[in-house]
Chain A
Amino acid sequence: MPIPFRFAAALACAALLLPLGCGRASKTAITLAGSTSVEPFAELLAEHYMAQHPGIKISVQGGGSSAGVRAVTSRICAIGMSSRELNPEEKALVEIPIAHDAIALIVNARNPVRRLTMAQARDVFTGRVRNWQELGGPNRRITAITREEGSGTRASFDERVMVAGMPKDKDGKTNPAAFAPDVLVQNSNGSVREIVASDPAAIGYISSGLIDERVAAVAIGGVTPTEATIRSGRYPVVRDFLFLSCGEPTGTAKAFIEYVLSDSGQKALAEEGLTRVK
């Protein structure tokens, strides 16, 4: 059984390399861990980088943004990945934004409604607005789709859209409005897009890089997500994909981050639908 054995051997090597890759010992192998939203992009960049620099080994793991923060704080990995903003107590880490990811409100390509105010966008998901007629569209019931509880995309949507116009509580915090119970829930960007693509009455939100010709982005407060509006910060629903480091990065980690922020690294990210930071 040569193949499983080789696979097992590779795993064992990876396990051996793991502690070496972290912190100071090795200069040639590093590990990235964290957000599952950033993970596919980091994997792609790592592949490009390893192709150009034979002998260097970069492994990328998921686990979620919080796991990434913990891993880099305890120096289990060289670079953490996060798709959410850091909490005040996590701010000791060095944050390196590698790309902007806009979250676009999408409707079916046949839907004539292409502009919503922030309050209207919120009301569609809280259930206050239930018919497209109220938004200047045809007389059809709205089918709103959200992501599952715990998803980073949903958290960003909560923080930027669902809080609109909500009163502050006694701690000065604005809590997001609750989604209506009959809002559909899907657990990936892809399936939200598929539903919107097939249902003329649907509305959902996905990473703007995943928009295709069957769905259309809605302007929020008159601003559509384009490279210019996302980079200037005029488009309101944008999150940054972050690399995190405990102290200034050194060695391979530093070289890799430099590559990610270089023109070719940024170009690779832009081709995948993200927006360049540099």
Chain B
Amino acid sequence: MREKLIEKGLLLVAFSAVATIFLIAFFIFREGVPLVAKVGVWDFIASTRWAPSKGQFGILPMIVGSLEVTILAVVFGAVLGLSCAMFLAEFAPRWSVRILKPMIELLAGIPSVVYGFIGVVVLVPWIRTTFGGPGFSVLASSIILGIMILPTVIAISLDAFHAVPPLYKEGSLALGATRWQTLYRVQLPAARSGIIAALILGMGRAVGETMAVIMVAGNALTMPTSLLQPVRTLTSNIALEMGYASGDHQAALFATGMVLFVIIAVLNTIALVVTRPRT
């Protein structure tokens, strides 16, 4: 009897967590759909002009901006994060793993506003003086985001390396391959699905990040055609303008959230499909 009660209780709590997702989705769509219907789906996602006070609601530059910044961030994150995971999995002496791993996890605990602040004070002026332009740019945002997704990328791809059966490695070494050849030709392909999942989850984090991006992206409404140009992402659009938005403007911000929600749902689904064990 008591067992049953606890079981039912846990079920209820678990469902209430999931219910939150549905509630959030419901509210975003309820507020956003009427506006998209009014403006037209195509005009909303494929027009480049955003001026809510004049009734223009085109979010294409922000969709492009979000994707551009995110993909670049994942490139940075992949290069740094995978190298780090490979080193930790195969080459690092035991004592250094004990120091490095907690430090990487600490990276995940730093508030995003701190990343943004360092970006504004150090990275943006550096980009401005080295490469020109305003400094607030696609490049600055993607470097900051690339660093922010490192803990996710490293932790998940490290697990993927550890999950490769030791037999693979031993067999390869026994055949005379070097450690690097073994890692690159045997372990890396075997851990592939885990690594892809790591990158996609990192991507999800990068798409959703707001505060740090607002601070270093410049938030201009231009279509970013160069890495040194300012950019506005979907998340920053919502956070920047929600303060004073009302009426259609507010609905348009909800609709922006809708687009973001769909992008993240797609990314997570891909991650799930990729990591599902093949049967």
Contacts and interface: CB of A to CB of B under 8 A. Distances in A.
B241 A150 contact: yes
Interface in B201-244: 214-215, 218-223, 229-230, 232, 240-241, 243-244
B243 A185 contact: no
Contact of A199 (B51, B135, B220): B135
Interface in A160-190: 178, 181-187
B124 to A, nearest CB: 8
- Determine which residue in B120, B232, B243 has the highest number of CB atoms from chain A within 10 A of its CB, and name it: B243
A66 interface: yes
A195 B243 CA distance: 21
Interface residues of B, number: 34
A152 interface: yes
B51 A178 contact: yes
B61 A181 contact: yes
A184 B246 contact: no
A64 interface: yes
- Determine which residue in B125, B128, B220, B245 has the highest number of CB atoms from chain A within 10 A of its CB, and name it: B220
B219 A64 contact: no
A181 B51 CA distance: 10
Contact of A181 (B52, B133, B221, B243): B221
A150 B230 CA distance: 20
B51 A182 contact: no
A198 B223 CA distance: 25
Interface string A249-273: 0000000000000000000000000
Given A149-B249, A199-B128, A182 B222 contact: yes
Contacts of B29: none
A194 interface: yes
Nearest to A202: B134
B193 to A, nearest CB: 40
Contacts of A150: 52-53, 241, 243-245, 249
Nearest to B133: A141
Contacts of A149: 50-53, 241, 245, 249
Contact of B230 (A36, A148, A182, A202): A182
Contact of B120 (A148, A181, A194, A201): A194
A184 B218 contact: yes
B144 to A, nearest CB: 16
A119 to B, nearest CB: 22
Interface in A18-68: 36, 64, 66
Given A148-B240, A149-B241, A194-B120, A181 B220 contact: yes
Contacts of B220: 181-185
Nearest to A178: B51
The 4 closest A-B pairs by CB, nearest first: A150-B244, A185-B219, A182-B222, A181-B222
Interface of B: 48, 50-54, 61, 120, 124-125, 128, 132-136, 214-215, 218-223, 229-230, 232, 240-241, 243-246, 249
11 contacts: A64-B246, A141-B133, A148-B243, A152-B244, A178-B54, A181-B222, A181-B223, A183-B221, A185-B240, A198-B124, A199-B135
Given A181-B220, A183-B221, 13 more contacts: A36-B243, A141-B132, A148-B219, A149-B50, A150-B245, A150-B249, A178-B51, A181-B221, A182-B229, A183-B220, A184-B136, A198-B125, A199-B125
